[in-house]
Chain A
Amino acid sequence: MHLQRADNHTWRKAKSGLASTAAFVSALLVIAPLGLVFFHLVANGASSVNWDFFTKLPTPVGVVGGGMVNAIAGSLELLALAAAIGIPVGVLGGVYLAEYGSARVNSMLRFIADVLNGVPSITWGVVVYGLVVLRFKGFSAYAGGLALGLIMIPLIIRTTEEVILLVPNGYREAALALGVSRWKTIVHVVMKTASKGIITGILLALARVGGETAPLLFTAFGNRFWNHNLSEPIAALPLQIFTYAISPYDDWHRQAWAGALVLVTGIFCVNVVVRILTRGRTASVV
């Protein structure tokens, strides 16, 4: 009897250890793709990230060399357009959810924002195509920027709301007690206190849409040349990577790897900045 119980105990202990090991292996498998992707990006892309890559336009088919300077510039322009739409709407909308409104309506709006965050990015491309491209008869940087901006709105609303709710009520009460009006309290005290968190949310949203390809396929469309007119098609780094990756040319594959390495480096840099900004607090990217 005694022996049996001891046996049973060892068996349960062993099972516990086994389960822990299995869970550990699962965790390794989950992060394995990260390591593999990173390794191959560096192995295949690093040698092609050179001065030409950052300064030259793509060469015609069959001509080796060239770079992606127009795509990098295009991506930055698209992000600026997206920011112009996504940041004001997202931040102020987040302020409303945190500061005003009834609990019922707000939880509804929050719910809708969460659902919107799950809408596939390609649907935004289709919608903006119908809204802008068909109406104005042409692909344009504006359309691409709008698609990315719309994706940013629900992302920023949620992060802004979350950080504004973290501001202690005492701050608001102190300002109101001094006779400061409500909206000045919100702008100068609450939002200022939460500014680091708000910026974090904005940066994460930019990093997220900066890597988006699907919504740009038929809005920004891509361009092999410089574009100095925002109502014309414009190149973007993720688009260029996609075009080059599915092309049959070895030299384009080489450049796709280089472009991917540059894009991932940019996105990871933003994430590192975010981590420094939110040190001590846990940042969530989803």
Chain B
Amino acid sequence: MEIATPPAVATVEPHSARRAMAPPSRFGDKAFEWLTLAMAMAVVVLVILLGWELWRGSSLAIKKFGFHFLTTSTWDPVADQFGALPFIYGTVVSSLIALLIAVPLSIATAAYLTELAPLWIRQPLVSLIEMLAAIPSVILGLWGIFVMIPWLRDYPFPLLKRLFGWTPFFTGPIYGTSMLAGGIIIAIMILPIITSVSREILRSVPNLQREAAYALGATRWEVTRIAVLSYAKKGLFGAVILGLGRALGETMAVTMVIGNTPQIAASLFKPGYTLASVIANEFTEATTDMYLQALFEIGLVLLGTTILANLLAQLLLQTMSTTSTTRAVQ
């Protein structure tokens, strides 16, 4: 936002008047601008700091294991052999479970909040969703350990086993702490963000869209589906990717319910391990240099994937907001 500086009329005034009307010293202005610029550049410094520190901390491991770090599954601190595959697998699978649960619920909720709900109920619901977003991860994890896991173990898991036990995904003994429990707790963590971003997206859909569909005799749901949801597809996809970014990096709650066992198993009842949880659990126990290096490298992998997800999400959200505003103007 550029603000016109006072025009330099003072220069044509007589000498005495010029002094009185002279623009105030520019030094304060310059100093303040540079100060705020330096602070704004902090974000650039932070990105470089993140990448550089993690790279520096893991350079030996990168040199030693190379690309195999990502494709082997031995995690043996005693033998100094490290492969991150089980953690990558655990992160991907638990995040996918989370998205599978969270995406339909969040987008339906966002549609409810902007299109379908009675007006009086909207603001209270939004406030409640904001409160859910404010619950710290560790507290959800605590609830997960003592409330959710025993409940899942006693009711939904046996039911799933009875119904889908013939697939490889729901076989084996049920302990409670499992990949599936991890996915469910991540879903709860990312519900609020996908919901509120989707809601913003749906709100930015121009009213002309809705009016046009109503004018053709569409019902409320048809308007939502044809005129709003399909119009906002790209932005909603951005919201989902943003949720994926959060899911990949979710740490405390998952660590507390996923079981923390580095294995690759088809059954979702088996415990798993994620990139973020292995850092949380083993960082202070890393006794050898290579162990610590490997954990730094896991941090680097985590940073890379979440930054990629966030970049993609922001790009999708940005194109959405620009197209919607330009079209609204037309």
Contacts and interface: CB of A to CB of B under 8 A. Distances in A.
Interface stretch (B76-84, B112-120, B155-163, B265-273): B112-120
Given A153-B46, A213-B137, A40 B143 contact: yes
Contacts of B133: 285-286
Nearest to B296: A126
B44 to A, nearest CB: 6
Interface in A1-32: 12-13, 15-16, 18-20, 22-24, 26-27, 29-31
Interface string A178-191: 01111110110000
Contact of B136 (A33, A217, A267): A267
A120 B139 contact: no
B193 interface: yes
B283 A123 contact: no
B53 interface: yes
Interface stretch (B62-70, B166-174, B206-214, B247-255): B247-255
A169 B1 CA distance: 9
A99 B32 CA distance: 11
Nearest to A45: B142
Size class of B's contact patch? 35 or more
Contact of A30 (B37, B191, B248): B191
Interface in B8-38: 23-25, 28-29, 31-33, 35-37
Contact of A118 (B24, B49, B284, B310): B310
A89 B260 CA distance: 38
Contacts of A131: 49, 53
Contacts of B284: 217-218, 221
A37 B53 contact: no
A100 B128 contact: no
B183 to A, nearest CB: 14
**A interface, over-half SS:** helix
B175 to A, nearest CB: 15
A251 B146 CA distance: 14
A64 interface: no
Contacts of B116: 19-20, 23-24
11 contacts: A13-B219, A91-B39, A109-B43, A125-B279, A126-B299, A127-B299, A183-B29, A210-B136, A217-B284, A253-B146, A268-B131
Given A95-B36, A112-B47, A271-B130, 6 more contacts: A23-B112, A40-B143, A100-B37, A182-B32, A211-B135, A213-B137
